[in-house]
Structure 1
Amino acid sequence: MKKLIAGVVLGVSLTALAHGAGDPEAGEKNAAVCAGCHGQGGTKPVMAVYPKLADMGEVYLYRQLVDIKAGDRAIPEMTGLLDNMSDQDLRDLAAYFDNQEVGVNQANPDLVERGQALYRGGNMASGVPACAGCHNPQGKGNEPGGYPRLSGQNAEYVAKQLQAYRDGSRAGGANAQIMMDVAAKLTDAEIEAVASYVSGLH
């Protein structure tokens, strides 16, 4: 019985660490520099090729910030921006952006049917798995697994990332190998369709 209780306590503690390590209020203080590209609260980027950061998932956002700071994920526009931030600063930033509400975009009606079929069912002929398996049927992501929310994300950004996974220019970080394997089997038309679909998914 003591072992069972200890296991439950440990499990709850680890869950708290995974989900509650950042302080959103503290993160807001460092978020001003991010607004120049990602918009206030990470909700409306100034360019569609920049991601919405709002509600992407704290675990995912934190991992990306760590990779960007370490140089494992090269983003020229962010060079040096994180250099003076501590690990706790990065956790706080991730928590802040994850606490913001994100709106959805309008998917291209001509691409919805194809995008939905790929997102929900994959492509059995080419071996592409359903995106919903990792990113949730509603596109809300998988926080414990570190898979980001896709619902409402800018289509141009999603397409750019899928292309980067496919050509190997985005190869580092957690889950990168999975995404590289998936993207390698996607055609340009499939990338366009699924990127448009998730931008309007809600």
Structure 2
Amino acid sequence: MKKLAILCGFVLFASGAATAQADVQGDAEAGQSKSVTCAACHGQTGTSPSGDFPNIGGQGYKYLVKQLMDYRLGAQTNGAEGRNNMLMASQVVNLSDQDIHDLAAFYASQEHPVGTVDEEIVEEAQRLFMGGDLDRGITACAACHGPSGLGMGLAAFPLLSGQHAEYTALTLKEFRSGDRSNDPNGMMRDIAARLTDRDIEILSKYIRGLY
């Protein structure tokens, strides 16, 4: 828990410093007009029709800005830095900082979807999500994402509630393997490395129904 407090403090400090240095403000109306191509995968209001693509409606503004910035950096460095994704690279490589902030403002202003949870996994998944597993060194998901999975906007910890189970499972596996590495201070990689396939399955299904 002490380690978690230090890491969370680091992220809060870094997030605050970045905000202090940034002069760009997002315009949701402008973002909507720029979101036409995004809608093909993420839906018009950020609710994706497919589990292959994340729901981004209602997602935290700072988190969305960071991810888009990281995708753009990945595209500009051929995956050496940032977040590497071939599909997203082609969409973000030419976005300006203003474009990114506008898109983030638009999607952050939308409602996030509410999903359902499989009753048979609730007790097991809730125990791991809410309390972690001390014996395995797994920090509770709720510590950073909140008991309802609504995230922590100031720290850029993402909203999880209502996310597609397929996408959540894929993301956790990418953190576990190291294929995704744009988490601050390796926080998610450290946790995901301790998760079993069963852990990932039940957490993903549980998160889908959080609200």
CA RMSD of aligned residues (A): 2.2
Does the Cα contact within 8 Å between 1:105 and 1:200 map onto a contact in 2? Answer: yes
* Structure 1: segments with no counterpart, 5+ residues: 1-13
Distance, in Å, in 2 between the alignment partners of 1:145 and 1:22 is 18
The answer for the alignment partner of 1:110 in structure 2 is: 120
Does 1:184 find its partner at 2:181? no
The answer for the alignment partner of 1:9 in structure 2 is: none
Deviations 1:90-137 (A, max 9, x none): 011011001000121111212111111111000111110100000011
The answer for the alignment partner of 2:73 in structure 1 is: 70
Quick one: which of 62, 68, 71 aligns to 1:59? 62
Measured after TM superposition, the shift of residue 170 of structure 1 is: 0.2
Quick one: which of 98, 101, 107 aligns to 2:108? 98
The answer for the alignment partner of 2:132 in structure 1 is: 122
- The alignment of Structure 1 onto Structure 2 pairs a total of residues equal to 189
Does the Cα contact within 8 Å between 1:115 and 1:194 map onto a contact in 2? Answer: yes
The answer for the alignment partner of 1:32 in structure 2 is: 36
Quick one: which of 191, 196, 209 aligns to 1:200? 209
Measured after TM superposition, the shift of residue 79 of structure 1 is: 2.6
Does the Cα contact within 8 Å between 2:45 and 2:107 map onto a contact in 1? Answer: yes
Give the 3 Å change call, closer, same or farther, for CA 137–16 of structure 1 in structure 2. Answer: farther
Does the Cα contact within 8 Å between 2:57 and 2:113 map onto a contact in 1? Answer: no
State TM-score, norm by structure 1.
0.87
* Structure 2: segments with no counterpart, 5+ residues: 1-17, 75-81
Farther-moved stretch of structure 1 (160-169 vs 68-77)? 68-77
Does the Cα contact within 8 Å between 1:27 and 1:89 map onto a contact in 2? Answer: yes
Deviations 1:138-168 (A, max 9, x none): 1110001010000111111111000000000
Distance, in Å, in 1 between the alignment partners of 2:19 and 2:87 is 33
Tell me the amino acid that sits aligned with residue 35 of structure 2.
A
Does 1:46 find its partner at 2:14? no
Measured after TM superposition, the shift of residue 15 of structure 1 is: 6.8
In our comparison, the structure showing a higher alpha carbon Rg is 1
Does the Cα contact within 8 Å between 1:42 and 1:52 map onto a contact in 2? Answer: yes
Measured after TM superposition, the shift of residue 171 of structure 1 is: 0.9
Does the Cα contact within 8 Å between 1:24 and 1:99 map onto a contact in 2? Answer: yes
- 3-state SS of the aligned residue for 2:139? coil
Measured after TM superposition, the shift of residue 77 of structure 1 is: 1.6
Deviations 1:9-49 (A, max 9, x none): xxxxx97988x921111110111110100111111x13202
Distance, in Å, in 2 between the alignment partners of 1:61 and 1:99 is 12
Measured after TM superposition, the shift of residue 56 of structure 1 is: 1.3
Does the Cα contact within 8 Å between 1:170 and 1:176 map onto a contact in 2? Answer: no
Q: What percentage of residue pairs aligned between the two structures are identical?
A: 42
State TM-score, norm by structure 2.
0.84
